[in-house]
Amino acid sequence: MLWSGWGDPAEAADLPEPVAKLLREVLGVRPPASPAGSWEEVRLPVTALPPEALTELTGVVGEGYVCSGDEDRVRHTRGKSTPDLMRMRAGDGSDAPDAVVLPGSHEEVLRVLRVCAAHRVAVVPFGGGTSVVGGLTPRREGFTGVVALDLARLNRLVSVDTESMIAELEPGLRAPQAEELLAAHGLTLGHFPQSFEYATLGGFAAARSSGQASAGYGRFDDMVAGMTVATPRGTLDLGRAPKSAAGPDLRQVILGSEGAFGVITSLRLRVRPVPQVRVYEGWRFESFAAGSAALRKLAQDGPVPTVLRLSDETETMIGLAKPAELGELGGMASGAGCLVVAGYEGAAEEVPARRERAAAVLAGLGGTFLGTGPGQAWAHGRYAAPYLRDSLLAAGATVETLETAGFWADLPRLYDAVRLALHGALGSPLVMCHISHVYGTGASLYFTVVTAQSEDPIAQWEAAKRAANEAIVAAGGTISHHHGVGRDHRGPYAAEIGELGVEILRGIKERLDPEGILNPGVLIP
C-alpha cells in the first residue's frame, strides 16, 4: 500500500484529458502550490513507549514482531480518508504509533492487551489500514504510548464445514487471500467492497462492511456465524447456532465496534459455492427517481440481481461508474439519464431465468437495455476509484466520499438535503451520487464530491463534512451505512442513538476495557 495514497503505485494513472479540462474550466482547479512531500520529509513524534512495556511486549510476541522503525510507524499512521492523505502528503506524521506489534495467536493478543492495560498503553487494532472515517487515529491524552496491533500474522483458513457451509478464518487475512484459500474448496464469501484488494476480514467485521454484491450475498455482518474475541478482561466466544433465542445476540456488540471493545481473533463465516456464471449489464433510465423506483421494485418483489446499482445524472454523465472510461460520458450521450448496472452470479441453470425476469421488470418500468458493455466495464474498473482520487489530489482538487442510508420514502429528501448542504459549504462543487446497496425497506446513498482545493483544504472538507452530517441527521438518515463511525462521525452518531444509547456503549466499554486502552477516542461519543 502506498504510504501517501492508495494501493500499488504501479497502478496509478494520469487523469484523462476530458477530466483535466473539466477540473480547470468548470471547477477552477489549479495545481497545488507545493508538491507532495517525500518519505524522508515525514515528521514523526519521538517514541514515548515505556521501555519496560517494550520489553514485555517483545517477550510476548518475540523478537522481530515489535517494530519501531520509521517505515513501520508511517505505514500504520491513520487510514485512507482524503484528510488522512493530505496530512501525509504534507509530511504530518504526528499520529504515528510508537511501535507496531504483530501477535501470532489469540493467546498472544490476550497477553499483549494485558501488558498494555498494565502500562496504560493505547492499542489500535490494525488490519488493512483502509478506514476513511478516522478509525485508526486514537486519542493519546492520558496514555503512556500508542501501539498498532497488526493482525497480519493471523492469516489462516482454519477449517471448512461444507455440510453447514461455514468456514473459520483468521482476521488478518486480506480479502484476496481469503478468496484464494476458499476457492480451493470451490467456495467464496462473495464480499467485494471497493477496498477489497487491501482490507482484511477482521476489518470487514469491525466496521460492518458492505460489498458491491451485497444485493446477492448480503453485508459482511450477515455472513458472521460466530467469532472469537480477545478483550482486556478475557475471551468472548460467540455464536453456536444459526439463530438463537438465548438473550440478546452479543455478536452484534462486536460487529461494528471498530476495535473499541475487543480484538477479533477468529471468524466463522457463511460461505457460498463459487458462481459458475457471472454476467453484468447496463440499463438506462430517464431520471434518478425513475431508476430508484425500478430498484425498489426489484428489492421488494424480486428477482434481486446479485449486483444492483444506480448512478444519478451527474455520476452517469461523468462516467464515474466506469473509472476506466472516465470522461467518456458513461458510454451514453450527454444528458442521457441514469445508468443502472445489474449483475447476476450463480449456477449456470439459474442465472438466465433470474436475469430474464429482472429484465422484464426493468423494461416494464421504463428501462432501456444497453447490453453487457456498461456492466462489464464497471466490473473491470470496480476497484479503480481510489487510484483516481490520488490523481485528482495531485492535480489540486479535493475529492472525497460520504455515504448514508434511509428508507425508500425518505431517500428523495435525504438525497436533496445532502446535496444542498455540500453546495452550501463548498460553493459550486461537483456532487455525484449512486445507490449501490438495496433492501426491501430502503437503500444506501453514496456521494462523491469534487471541488477546487482552498488554501486550507483539510478545513475546507471538514466544514463540508459537518454540514453534510447535520443534513443526514436532520433528514432521518443513518450517519453511516458501511464506512463506520471512527472519530469523524462520533457527534452525529450520538445524536442518532440518543443519550441513553451513548450510556449503554460507555457501559460496555467500561466492562470489557476498564482501562480504556482499545482505540480510545474512536466510536464512543
Q: How is the chain split into domains, by residue range?
A: 157-273, 277-380, 385-488
pLDDT < 70: residue spans in the chain: 320-335
- CATH (residue range 385-488): 3.30.300.330
- CATH (residue range 157-273): 3.30.465.10
The predicted structure's pLDDT at residue 326: 55
Binding-site residue numbers are 125-131, 258-264, 389
Name 409's Cβ contacts closer than 8 Å, sequence gap at least 6: none
Dihedral sign from CA coordinates of 174, 175, 176, 180 = positive
Q: Is 390 helix (H, G, I), strand (E, B) or coil?
A: helix
The predicted structure's pLDDT at residue 325: 57
- CATH (residue range 277-380): 3.30.70.3450
Q: Count of CB atoms within 10 A of residue 76's CB?
A: 22
The answer to whether residue 493 is catalytic is no
Binding-site residue numbers for substrate are 389
284 with 367: CB under 8 angstroms? yes
Active-site option among 198, 383, 387, 446 = 446
Residue found by looking up cell 508511517 in the block = 74
The predicted structure's pLDDT at residue 39: 81
- Give dist(CA 320, CA 328) in Å, integer: 10
The predicted structure's pLDDT at residue 323: 57
Q: Is 39 helix (H, G, I), strand (E, B) or coil?
A: helix
Binding-site residue numbers for FAD are 125-131, 258-264
109 to 77, 88, 519, 520: CA distances (angstroms)? 20, 29, 15, 18
